[in-house]
């Protein structure tokens, strides 16, 4: 049966997966966004539903002051003896484990692990737990290392031992250990999470090694192949379905322009077969958009998102920067009210902004806003947000000259007003139509027809232009002010399709 990658589109990097019976659970990185570590469920591998976020309490994992692409990196999810475990790395604080016995309930506060390295993973065997990162037993070389831990306290129960030094691709990370048949397999990523990204594998007859590398490493990469629409393939997690078939989830990037992508790294699904005791990913180790594989359900067409703010509770798709202030948000009864503070996007704090992940390159987003600014600097509208110094927005803004609909572009230290037109009082609707090359901005006063504001290139919101951007574009609504207090903005609907 044919399916189309990616299975999770937009900002969904560093996927990890586990199976419990016929249920599959998948997590990805969330970096500086709250709630953190989105959790997805599927029973067929190609149709996924977000059922929550593993980090959903500010007290659980404070993110105040987190830099762009900081925060929570590369989670791993595993199930053992009735309990789900997620482990991840948070920049500046280290590695942690959270757990739950109810996948639809709350997750624990973090247990911190006294082991260096990033992209941690857990392996369970015979009642013992082993922790694996790219920590170095020998500081003069790259390697993947492991230690036995107490899963309840995080205490190390053994020394840290190096398992493998990789293939020389550099930036060894994302280790996972599996026992498959009579072999232990160590899956890693090399090359950095850019165009040189790869997945490599080694195996051993014993858990602690020595591990020998696959003669066909890397087993997954799209490097040096600019003819393909997928780049940056790597960082995978192997698993077996209930029918005995093998698969890998991994990250990859689809290009919006020749060498650029604004959606960021996405989650792909790869069929895996075994030859001479080694995994073969896809047909020849190259990530593909269209795949034929032994699925048991058809992939459904993409569905849009529609939010009417009828309830006080936030849907799991909504994200906030760093550590949001709950007093800035008031929702229910068909309205979301944003109370702004004099907080800029560049301040590494948390402005009054709520965003979601775009559904694809070709995407339309629309909202309705009631906003009457009181002072110069008050503004509210829609935003396309990549990181603190790369974002576009369309808004209603008060200046010393009056109230205007404005489209503003910011790319590092370059700020441009791409459109400006005077606007009267009354409700205003904003719309952004996206494709691979351009964002098209529209607005309408009341129930009147949409007016075209301007077209801007997607180029400056690509991760490649921003540099060291591990996230991807998000879109949503916001309100800002320059003085201590500003006019509140009411949003009555938010659509994406």
Catalytic annotation, residues: 14, 173
Q: 471 CB contacts (<8 Å, ≥6 apart)?
A: 11, 13, 31, 32, 33, 68, 69, 264, 386, 387, 463
Please list, residue by residue across 280-312, b when 16 or more beta carbons sit within 10 angstroms of its beta carbon and e when fewer do. Answer: bbbeebbbbeebebebeeebeeeeebebebeee
Yes or no: say if 400 and 376 are a contact pair by the CB < 8 Å rule: yes
For residues 180 and 121, give the distance between their C-alpha atoms in angstroms, rounded to a whole number.
Answer: 17
Exposure pattern of 35-62 as b/e (b: 16+ CB <10 Å)?
bbbbbbbbebbbebeeebbbbbebebbe
Beta bridge partners of 367: 430, 494
Q: DSSP letters of 182-249? A: TEEEEEEEES-SSTT-EEEEEEESSTT---EE-TT--SEE-TT-TTSSEEEEEEEEEEE-TTS-EEEE
**Radius of gyration of the chain from its Cα atoms, rounded to whole angstroms:** 23
| Residue pair 252/11 in contact by the 8 Å Cβ criterion | no
Cβ contact 94:87 at 8 Å: no
Rounded Cα gap, residues 497 and 489, in angstroms: 24
Q: What distance in Å separates the CA atoms of residue 267 and residue 9, rounded to the nearest whole number?
A: 7
Integer angstrom CA distances of residue 159 from 123, 208, 438: 16, 12, 53
Among 192, 122, 124, 134, which residue's Cα sits nearest to residue 164?
134
* 460 DSSP assignment: G
Instruction: Return the DSSP state at 402.
Output: E
Distance CA 26, CA 8 (A): 10
Distance between CA atoms of residues 306 and 468, nearest Å = 32
The answer to whether 22 and 315 have CB atoms below 8 angstroms apart is no
Q: Within a 10 A sphere around the Cβ of 393, how many other Cβ atoms?
A: 26
**11: which 2 tokens?**
């900002």
């Amino acid at each position: 049966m044919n399916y189309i990658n990616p299975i999770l589109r937009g900002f969904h990097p560093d996927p990890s997966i586990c199976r419990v019976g016929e249920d599959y659970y998948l997590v990805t990185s969330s970096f500086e966004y709250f709630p953190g570590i989105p959790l997805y469920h599927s029973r067929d591998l190609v149709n996924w539903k977000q059922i929550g976020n593993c980090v959903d309490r500010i007290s659980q994992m404070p993110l105040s002051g987190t830099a762009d692409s900081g925060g929570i990196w590369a989670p791993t999810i595993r199930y053992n003896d009735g309990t789900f475990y997620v482990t991840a790395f948070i920049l500046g604080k280290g590695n942690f484990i959270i757990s739950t016995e109810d996948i639809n309930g709350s997750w624990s506060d973090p247990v911190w692990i006294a082991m260096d390295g990033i992209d941690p993973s857990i392996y369970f065997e015979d009642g013992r737990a082993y922790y694996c990162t790219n920590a170095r037993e020998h500081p003069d070389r790259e390697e993947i290392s492991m230690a036995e831990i107490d899963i309840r306290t995080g205490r190390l129960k053994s020394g840290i031992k190096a398992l493998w030094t990789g293939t020389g691709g550099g930036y060894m990370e994302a280790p996972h250990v599996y026992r498959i048949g009579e072999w232990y397999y160590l899956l890693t990523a090399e090359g950095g999470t850019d165009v040189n990204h790869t997945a490599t594998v080694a195996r051993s007859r014993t858990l602690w090694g020595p591990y020998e590398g696959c003669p066909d490493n890397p087993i997954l990469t799209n490097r040096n192949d600019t003819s393909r629409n997928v780049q940056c393939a790597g960082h995978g997690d192997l698993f077996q379905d209930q029918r005995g078939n093998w698969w890998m989830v991994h990250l990859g990037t689809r290009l919006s322009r020749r060498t650029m992508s604004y959606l960021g790294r996405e989650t792909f699904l790869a069929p895996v077969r075994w030859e001479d005791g080694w995994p073969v990913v896809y047909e020849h180790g190259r990530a593909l958009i269209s795949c034929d594989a032994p699925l048991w359900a058809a992939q459904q067409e993409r569905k849009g998102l529609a939010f009417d703010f009828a309830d006080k509770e936030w849907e799991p798709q909504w994200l906030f920067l760093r550590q949001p202030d709950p007093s800035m948000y008031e929702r229910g009864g068909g309205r979301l009210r944003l109370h702004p503070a004099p907080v800029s996007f560049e301040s590494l704090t948390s402005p009054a902004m709520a965003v979601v992940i775009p559904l694809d390159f070709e995407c339309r987003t629309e909202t309705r806003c009631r906003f009457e600014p009181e002072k110069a600097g008050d503004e509210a509208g829609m935003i396309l947000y990549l990181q603190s110094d790369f974002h576009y927005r369309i808004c209603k803004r008060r200046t010393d000259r009056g109230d205007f609909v404005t489209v503003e572009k910011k790319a590092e230290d370059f700020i441009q007003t791409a459109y400006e037109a005077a606007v009267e009082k009354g409700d205003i609707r904003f719309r952004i139509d996206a494709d691979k090359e351009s964002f098209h901005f529209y607005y309408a006063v009341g129930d009147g027809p949409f007016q075209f504001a301007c077209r801007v290139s997607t180029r400056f919101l690509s991760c490649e232009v921003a540099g060291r951007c591990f996230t991807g574009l998000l879109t949503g609504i916001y309100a800002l002010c320059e003085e201590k207090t500003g006019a509140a903005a009411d949003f009555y609907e938010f659509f994406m399709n």
